[in-house]
Chain A
Amino acid sequence: MTKSAKVGSVICDELITAANQDHNILALTSDSRGSASLTPFATQLPDQLVEMGIAEQNSVTVGAGLAHSGKRPFVFSPAAFLTMRSIEQVKVDVTYSDTNVKLIGISGGNSYSVLGNTHHSLQDLAITRALPNLEVYMPADEYQTRGLIQYLAKSNHPAYVRIGKQALPDIYDNQQQSFRGPGKANIVMDNGNDVALVAAGETVQIAVRTARKLAEQGVQAKVIDLVSVKPLDRALLNQVADQVNLITTIEEHSIYGGLGSAVAEALAIRGDTRVDIAGFPDEPAIAGTQAEVFAHYGLDEAHLTKRIMANLNQ
């Protein structure tokens, strides 16, 4: 049985280590230190935590001012607010001015579920992916989160990280194989060349479960963990497209503009690979537990297996 870890707590843990070594590392919170699992950081490094109050726009702008003065701010806020309410601040103050701000979107996608659409961020990849000079990441397990935060603590580029609320089982056996830098995706399972499942963040485990279910039915699947939604690992995607005729993308995001779109954009010119995008439809998400909502939208292994079998039989 693999262990599970809450990504937020892992980020806090890694950031404490990094911030102890580099006192320019700051955590900015918008009344979100609890929900961002940053209480240990606040307790251990109170001088490196800046409380911004419930003001997400100003959190990003002040983060840019701090970064311009040599600080390395990590701005934490629910992904829904950080990437929607504050997107103009991200565009102007971070990506356009090229300030070294790390944006950590917590409780991303449908994580807040029954709290409703005000708290969902099912469009964040579409909007962050379209901004020049912004790296976009979605870690899938504890090892990868550690590797990613260690990279971000040293990098000088603006980045957005989307995480969820669930405790995630290990996908990887060690940190080294889990995160290999910007624009590097990983093949986490390779049963054969019938279909490739492409996912990132919390949907990687769904892709793995789906691949296992497909194997029971004699379908050989690969699972690709993008982790770096931008820059995209075009080389690996093309290598996969050389081997399979069908790619199914699985995301906790609108079917418009997310990682499925990213994969389709990259491969469209080839004309030899079908890309099927599984995600949230163009409507406000219904209420329910995450499992109920994912099943409702066909994002569980049972529905995905049927969908892939149908596509393979076309």
Chain B
Amino acid sequence: MRIDELKLKAAQIRRATWQMIYQAKTGHTGSDLSCTDILVALYYAAMNQTPATFNDENRDRYIQSKGHAVEVLYNVLADRGYFPKSDLETYSQYDSPYIGHPTNHVNGIELNTGSLGHGLGLSVGIAKAAKLDHRDYHVYTLMGDGEQAEGSVWEAAMAAGSFKLDNLTAIIDHNRLQISGPTAEVMNSEPLADKYRAFGFDVIEIDGNDMAQLVDALETPNTPLRPKLILADTIKGRGISFAENRAEWHHKVPTAEQYQQGLDELDAEIGRLQND
């Protein structure tokens, strides 16, 4: 897909996610909108994985460590054809597999996440297995910046550097906000780039809502023997003017009025991108 097509796809995924959260009356709205571009860049450009190859041993793998942004993941997977879009009408309903954090009962999801600080370690295990088996698949994992306060992240980062996993790319959705407020005030994890470099990673710092920069960073090959971190500066709530950079939208559900206003903004953006 070309960059302009990926941008349009991201806008359409934002719209579907916004709609799903409003209908279900639950979801991590701000977190979903923050990392939508990252997921689109992964699933429509960077990753060697399709629904047809999901069980192939040589597929690229994706682990969503910030599991709470599951609504956008569901919408990306549905749009890519891992399961029918109509399945998502059961989201968060009685006995549905489509619950508020990812589980491997859903086609396209590798492992269960939701408790923070697990995704990087799982990815280290998957990447290590590729090395042991001499396979050349790549492992991608998406973490939050608030998540960096979890000690297990750093156990995993140390292992990734120590094991020289150049088949691993970690991405931090660096929106600088978490549920209680600014990450720098809740628990300052900066300087993240320096920390990851010290743990043996190559670090690429980009605008994480810029599709061209995302695709470029994801497609940049790892330096041999080094894992890669993409520190993706993003805007929490991206795409909805009144939700952008507002911590309270972490898992806020829009009112009917807010929903319509947000939909109008997203439709206007989709219209602009279609005419470009």
Contact = CB atoms under 8 A, between A and B. Distances in A.
Interface of A: 26, 47, 50, 52-53, 55, 57-58, 61-71, 88-89, 92-93, 96-99
A70 B132 CA distance: 11
A98 B103 CA distance: 11
Interface in B130-187: 130, 132-133, 151-152, 155-156, 158-159, 162
Nearest to A62: B125
Given A61-B152, A68-B110, A99-B111, A93 B122 contact: yes
A284 to B, nearest CB: 25
Describe A's contact surface by its main secondary structure: helix
Say which size band chain B's interface belongs to.
Answer: 20 to 34
Interface string B47-83: 0000000000100000000000000000000000000
Contacts, number: 92
B155 A55 contact: yes
A93 B111 contact: yes
B116 to A, nearest CB: 10
Contact of A58 (B111, B114, B152): B152
A93 B110 CA distance: 11
Given A70-B57, A92-B115, A92-B118, A65 B128 contact: yes
B232 interface: no
A65 B155 contact: no
A274 B111 CA distance: 44
Nearest to A92: B115
Contacts of A57: 121, 151-152, 155
13 contacts: A52-B159, A53-B159, A58-B124, A61-B118, A61-B121, A61-B125, A64-B111, A65-B122, A65-B123, A88-B115, A89-B152, A92-B113, A93-B112
Contact of A62 (B103, B124, B133): B124
Nearest to A99: B111
B104 interface: yes
Contacts of A96: 103, 112
Contacts of B125: 61-69
Contacts of A99: 111
A267 B162 CA distance: 51
B204 interface: no
A57 B124 CA distance: 13
A50 B131 CA distance: 12
Nearest to A73: B125
